[in-house]
């Protein structure tokens, strides 16, 4: 367990707190090689998803690191029937690792990490699965999304251990698979089965002086356009599914233009992200041979919902376009299959927890924290949907998530470790939700803070 060496009493409580926190920061700066080596080891276990490779090896490695920190560990394997339900096929067993520092406090602070990464292309300048340290950066697939944050959080716990600081709250970590394909067979399974505890929760999110407090909803659909194949020299004997697909896309484009005008009242880091989105063609399939009229064509829709929207209405408006199209073009058939969905998620507000996070960021980087909704979905939504106060904060790189030549800044690894260490140190199991007036006598976060997250007129 974390060492309990204690500190001598000082005359000034404030001076004592500052001294302790300065000690944490000094330790992290002096021992950053730990985080560099840990992240390098994580990168070099290629947990590529799909299909989900090397999960067992990753969990075994993380288990060893957690045991070194004195955490009690246990593993959970997602059952086959759950994998079948969500269409997860191939790859490793879906293993989650849960690690606890349970000192018998009333409340638990949970930090979640996903360890899977997306595939890498052949356009990388370096080997994506061999960490390269250069110019203050660590390159490698997953360095920013989100293995760098795993390294930072474990580094934070090591710093607290070495600085003889005992948290005043239970700590629970979870390392889960399959976030890159929706998380339902990873953290979603653990939360749904009650296998994890959380009074407060954190995971990946924004970086720097931004903290995420929610995310847009997501709706993925696969559209199948069925025509009739024929010889290319006699196209009049067939129905060209590719051409029908283009006609359908034109109709969906009208819906898209309507959707793009919808704007959330919630704060987002980038103003352009306030709009709902509708992307077609991320997946395309059709045709078998150059001289065959294509009988089937398929494409995808990636629909992102602002918090004011809901999944049911989003489905309904897409289906309406397709139903109208089928009535007009009776010699072809369009089918739709919704392959993944998740409602928009906004964290339950807990002023004490949010102030702790904001103050920890301010103490680390010297800038006021801003609370914002993210455009992309993270696994934090599984806690948010349960009404658990949840925030997202990550180590930063070039914001090249899922892109070639992904990297993370070494300085950010250290800063992020300091943020997590301060949050853990400052959180108290006796914390309860106070108003801003009770805490500070004013709105700590200013105009862009969480108090005003819904914006003017909300």
Active site residues: 116, 179
Query: Given strand 137-139, what is the order of strands in its sheet?
Result: 132-134, 137-139, 407-409
The CA dihedral of 322, 326, 327, 328, to the nearest 10 degrees, is: 100
Q: How is 424-444 classified by DSSP, letter by letter?
A: HHH-BTT-----HHHHHSS-T
The structure tokens 């196209």 sit at 235
Query: Which tokens belong to 109?
Result: 């602070």
Orientation angle between helical segments 410-426 and 13-30, nearest 10 degrees: 150
Provide CB contacts within 8 A for 68, sequence distance 6+: none
| Tokens representing residue 111 in the block | 């930090």
- For 163, the 3-state DSSP assignment is coil
Report d(CA 119, CA 131) in Å as an integer: 15
Helix axes 13-30, 148-162, angle to 10 degrees: 130
Q: Which two tokens stand for residue 304?
A: 């992102």
Query: For the chain, what percentages of helix, strand and coil (3-state, to nearest 5) are there?
Result: 35, 25, 40
- Contact status, residue 184 vs residue 382, Cβ threshold 8 Å: no
**Tokens standing for 26?**
């000094």
Burial 4-39 (b: 16+ CB within 10 A, else e): eeeeeeeeeeeeeeeebbebbbebbeebbebbbebb
């Amino acid at each position: 367990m974390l060492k309990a060496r204690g500190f001598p009493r000082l005359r000034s409580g404030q001076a004592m707190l500052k001294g302790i926190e300065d000690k944490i920061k000094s330790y992290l700066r002096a021992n950053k090689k730990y985080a560099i080596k840990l992240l390098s080891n994580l990168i070099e276990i290629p947990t590529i998803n799909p299909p989900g490779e090397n999960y067992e090896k990753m969990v075994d490695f993380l288990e060893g690191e957690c045991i070194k920190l004195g955490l009690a560990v246990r593993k959970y394997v997602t059952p086959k029937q759950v994998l079948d339900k969500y269409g997860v096929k191939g790859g490793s067993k879906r293993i989650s690792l849960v690690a606890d520092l349970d000192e018998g406090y009333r409340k638990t602070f949970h930090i979640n990490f996903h360890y899977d990464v997306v595939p890498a292309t052949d356009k990388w300048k370096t080997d994506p699965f061999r960490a390269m340290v250069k110019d203050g950066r660590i390159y490698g697939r997953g360095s920013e999304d989100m293995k760098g944050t795993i390294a930072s959080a474990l580094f934070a716990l090591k710093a607290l251990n070495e600085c003889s600081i005992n948290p005043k709250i239970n700590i629970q970590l979870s390392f889960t698979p399959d976030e890159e394909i929706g998380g339902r067979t990873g953290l979603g399974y653990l939360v749904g089965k009650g296998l994890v505890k959380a009074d407060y929760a954190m995971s990946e999110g924004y970086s720097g002086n931004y903290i995420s407090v929610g995310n847009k909803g997501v709706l993925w659909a696969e559209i199948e356009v069925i025509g009739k194949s024929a010889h290319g020299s006699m196209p009049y004997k067939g129905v060209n599914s590719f051409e029908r697909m283009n006609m359908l896309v034109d109709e969906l484009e009208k819906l898209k233009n309507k959707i793009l005008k919808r704007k959330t009242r919630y704060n987002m880091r980038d103003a352009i992200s306030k709009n709902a989105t509708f992307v077609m063609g991320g997946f395309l399939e059709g045709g078998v041979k150059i001289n065959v009229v294509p009988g089937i064509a398929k494409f995808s829709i990636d629909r992102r919902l602002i918090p004011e929207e809901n999944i049911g209405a989003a489905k309904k408006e897409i289906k309406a376009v397709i139903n109208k199209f089928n009535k007009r073009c009776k010699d072809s058939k369009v089918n739709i299959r919704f392959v993944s969905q998740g409602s928009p998620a906004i964290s339950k507000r807990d002023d004490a927890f949010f102030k702790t996070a904001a103050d920890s960021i301010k103490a680390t980087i010297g800038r006021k924290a801003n609370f914002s909704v993210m455009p992309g979905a993270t696994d934090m939504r599984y806690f948010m949907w349960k009404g658990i106060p949840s925030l997202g904060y990550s180590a930063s790189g070039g914001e090249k998530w899922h892109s070639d030549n992904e990297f993370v800044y070494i300085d950010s690894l250290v800063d992020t470790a300091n943020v997590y260490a301060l949050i853990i140190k400052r959180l108290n199991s006796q914390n309860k939700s106070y108003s801003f007036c009770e805490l500070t006598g004013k709105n700590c976060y200013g105009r862009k803070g969480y108090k005003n997250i819904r914006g003017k007129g909300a």
